[in-house]
Amino acid sequence: MKVPSLTQTHFVFTPVLFRTATDYHELFGSGIREVRKIPKTSSKLHTLKNNSELYPAGFLAILSIPDASSKLHQNFILFVWYQMQSAILLAEHYSFIGNLVCERSWLGTILSAMTTGGRFDMEYREAGVDVEAGRAFVQRIRQMVDSTTRPEVLGGLGGFSGLFQLPSGYQEPVLVSGTDGVGTKLKLAHTLDRHDTVGIDLVAMCVNDVLTCGAEPLFFLDYLATGKLNPEQLAQVVSGITEGCRQSGCALLGGETAEMPGFYQPGEYDLAGFCVGIVEKSQILNGSQVQIGDVAIGLASHGVHSNGFSLVRKIIDDRGIALSDRPEGFNGQTLGEALLTPTRIYVQPVLAALRSGMSIHGMAHITGGGLPENLPRCLGQGQAVQVNPSAWVVPPLFQWLATTGEVSPTGMFNTFNMGIGFVVLVPPAQVDATLAWFQSQELAAWAIGEVVPGNGELVGLPE
C-alpha cells in the first residue's frame, strides 16, 4: 500500500466504531500514516489527545469497541495516524504474548499495511529517551566547550571521537591518563539543587592525579548519566566541567550524555571523568627521585573536596542537621555551601613551579584515605614520612565534623584531607623558596613533615 505524504500537520480527534473486516480494509485504503500501540487504560483515554509528549504532531482519533463485541483479549489498543479530514483511529482488542498473535485474516492485512507504509512500534521518547532533547543539549553547551579549546585540538564537538595533536617540544613524550568521579557529594548537589560546582570537582579529581607524576593535563572527557535529561540542570554541570578545564589548562575534548530511564531517581545523575596528560619521559616523578630528608610541603585544600561524603552525610542525617544551618566559624557560609565548595585544582601553580626550575622530587594528591593513604604513594623503597600535625591549622569544617559526629582523630585523618589537599616533596634547601612561591600564588603552604627511613608508612598522626 502506498502511503500518501503529509502536506499538513492538523489531525482530527474522532471517536469511531468499527466492527467488520470490510471497515478495516476501507480504513487502510484511505491512507494510513502511522500506527502506535499502548496499554489499554480506559480512564485515561480522554487525555491522550492532548498528550504532546507522546504525540507532538497532533491529535489522534479513538475507536472504542464495547467489551461484549470483541472476541479477542482486551490487552491493547491500536492508535492510527493518518491524513486530515479522513483521520480516524483504528482500535481492536487483540492478543499480545511476546509477539503479536493474530487469529483473524484482517489483522494480517493491518500488519501488512503497517510494514509497507506505517510503523508499529513505540518511539524511543515514549520509553523515556528524548533523542531530540539530547541533540539540543549538545548545541546548548557547544559554546562552553569551545571556551576550553587548545591549539592542538583538531575538529569540533559532535564527531564520533575527539582528535588531539601531541604538543611539540618533547623528545620522548609519555601520555599519562587518569579517571575519577565525584562520589556521593552529588547527593548534596541534588538536595540543594546546585549543580555548577560538581563539574569542577570532576575535573579536579582527575587532573590533580595526573599532575602527581609531573604531567601537564592536555584534554578531558566526561560521562554524564541521568534518568531523564534536564537541560538546565545538566548545563550547570557542564559549566562547572568547562570551568575546571579552563583552570587546569586542558581541553574538554568530548563526552557522553546517557539518558537511562528507570535507572536513577528523578533529578539525579552521576558523573565520571577521564583526563590525558603528557610528560617528558626523563622528567616522570615515580618515587625514585625522593630522598631521605626531603621535606613535605602541604598545600591548602578548599574543604572536604570530593572524598568522605558518605561519612559527612551520615553525620548530618543521624544528627538531624539542616544544610541551611550556619555553624560557628564558617564565615557566614551555610553548611551546604561549605560542603559544596569545589575541589581545588593545583595544576597551574605546581606546573609553573616545575617550569621555574624548582626541584620537586615527589607529589601526592590527598583524596580518599587522607594523608595516611595517599602521601606514602609517592615514596621510594625503604621510605616513610614523619608528619607534624601541629604544623598547620585544621579548618573549622573538619573540627565541626569531628565534634558533631564524634569521630576519632584517627577516623578523621583516615577519611578526610584535614586541610591538606596536595603535597610536594622538596630538598631541605628549597623549603623556604617553595613556601614563598606557593604563597605568591595565593595558595597557603606549610612544611608538614619529613621523609624518613621506613616501609611506606605515615607516622606522627594523633591516635
- 248's enclosing H/E stretch is helix 231-248
Statement: residue 240 has pLDDT above 60: yes
Q: Are residues 269 and 356 in the same domain?
A: no
User: What is residue 116's predicted lDDT score, i.e. its pLDDT?
Assistant: 39
* Top-confidence residue, 377 or 72: 377
Q: Are residues 208 and 260 in the same domain?
A: yes
Whole-angstrom distance, CA of residue 115 vs CA of residue 113: 6
**For the chain, what is the mean pLDDT?**
79
Q: Are residues 424 and 320 in the same domain?
A: yes
Q: Are residues 164 and 105 in the same domain?
A: no
For residue 235, list its beta bridge partners.
none
Q: Are residues 99 and 132 in the same domain?
A: no
Q: Are residues 231 and 102 in the same domain?
A: no
Question: Please, are residues 299 and 421 in contact by the beta-carbon 8 Å criterion?
Answer: yes
Task: Give how many domains the chain has, as a whole number.
Answer: 3
Tell me the per-residue pLDDT of 411-439, one tens digit each, with 9 for 90 and over. Answer: 999 999 999 999 999 999 999 999 999 99
Measured distance between the N- and C-terminal CA atoms of the chain, rounded to whole angstroms: 82
Q: Which domain holds residue 72?
A: 21-122
Q: Are residues 291 and 429 in the same domain?
A: yes
Tell me the per-residue pLDDT of 52-102, one tens digit each, with 9 for 90 and over. Answer: 333 333 323 333 333 333 333 333 334 333 332 333 333 333 332 222 223
Q: Are residues 278 and 393 in the same domain?
A: no
What residues have CB less than 8 Å from 463, skipping those under 6 apart? 409, 410
Tell me the per-residue pLDDT of 91-141, one tens digit each, with 9 for 90 and over. Answer: 333 332 222 223 333 334 433 433 334 344 456 566 566 666 666 677 778
Question: Please, are residues 422 and 365 in contact by the beta-carbon 8 Å criterion?
Answer: yes
**How many other CB atoms are found less than 10 A from the CB of residue 265?**
8
